[in-house]
A = this chain, B = another copy of it.
Amino acid sequence: MQAFSDRLAAASAANRSLLCVGLDPDPELMAVPDAAEFNRAIVDATRDLVCAYKPNLPFYEALGREGFDALERTLDHIRDVAPDVVIVGDAKRGDIASTNTHYARALFDVWGFDAATVNAYAGGDALEPFLDYADRGVIVWCRSSNPGADEFQDLRSNADGGAPLYELMAKRAADWNTRGNVGLVVGATYPREIAAVRAHCPGMPLLVPGVGAQGGDLEESVRLGLDRGPRNLMIASSRGVTYASRDAGDFADAARTAAARLRDDINAALTREDAGWC
């Protein structure tokens, strides 16, 4: 099977898009009550505008059995109508290795995600069961997009000349990348941190959430996150696309409009960086 980064590059080029749409069905926000039906409409409306979809697993878990079914139907539908778009399971999973073996099975065998977000608090030895899936992306949660991200992630350690923890995490992620399947999550709300992570991790995909509802800077995120050669960048928006309208009559059209605008804004930023789709 093709490497995740190659599939991501192909999907990005095919749709001329670095946009990753998060599929986070929230009963309080959805324009229609059924999560699978909601996602189907969003996917149908945006499938030519994205490089990736990113279901956020807790949103399904919070729906119980119905959520389990909705995730299954959503993944089947994406595979049917957009087989080349990559699917990232956003779950921030992480434990010791003997437990991560089961998380990896769930994410990569049961759900069949092309990539998954993971938590590396237990260190690199614990991630081996994920990394062993050489054809899947293992996207390490490096710098979160929330206001309190600095509480632990900015702590300057005694290692590596006083680098903050998130930078050390990025450096180690580059070391773990022996099979070429490691990427990182860095929030768009922290552009300077995106630049630092990119400097440590050339050739590795970055997943950048937080450009929509969370207020991250789109242009800075693209400029600083861009890789040399393949762009290796997923700019993720969830609420800004899927809840652009909460009206059952036009939510899918509104999602398409919002996704097209984001894709175009990203592409304009790419062009300014001499990295446009030619």
Contact = CB atoms under 8 A, between A and B. Distances in A.
By CB atoms of chain B within 10 A, which of A122, A123, A125, A145 has the most? Answer: A122
Contact of A149 (B94, B100, B123): B123
A124 interface: yes
Contacts of A145: 96
Nearest to A22: B99
Given A159-B155, A169-B152, A121 B141 contact: yes
Contact of A165 (B97, B126, B150, B152): B152
A220 to B, nearest CB: 20
Nearest to A142: B121
A155 B152 contact: no
Contacts of A158: 155-157, 162
Interface in A52-101: 56, 58-59, 61-65, 68, 92-97, 99-100
Contacts of A169: 152
A236 interface: no
A156 B165 CA distance: 10
B94 A119 contact: yes
Interface in A101-153: 102-103, 105-106, 109-110, 119-126, 141, 144-153
Contact of A126 (B62, B96, B122, B146): B146
A96 B144 contact: yes
Contacts of A126: 144, 146, 148
A90 to B, nearest CB: 8
Contacts of A150: 123
A19 interface: no
B119 A148 contact: no
Contacts of A36: none
Given A102-B58, A152-B168, A169-B152, A147 B125 contact: yes
A172 interface: yes
13 contacts: A56-B99, A56-B102, A58-B95, A58-B102, A119-B121, A121-B121, A122-B144, A123-B152, A123-B153, A125-B151, A126-B148, A152-B169, A155-B165
Interface of A: 24, 26, 56, 58-59, 61-65, 68, 92-97, 99-100, 102-103, 105-106, 109-110, 119-126, 141, 144-153, 155-159, 162, 165, 168-169, 172
Given A61-B110, A64-B106, A123-B152, 8 more contacts: A56-B102, A58-B105, A62-B106, A119-B121, A121-B121, A122-B153, A156-B157, A165-B165
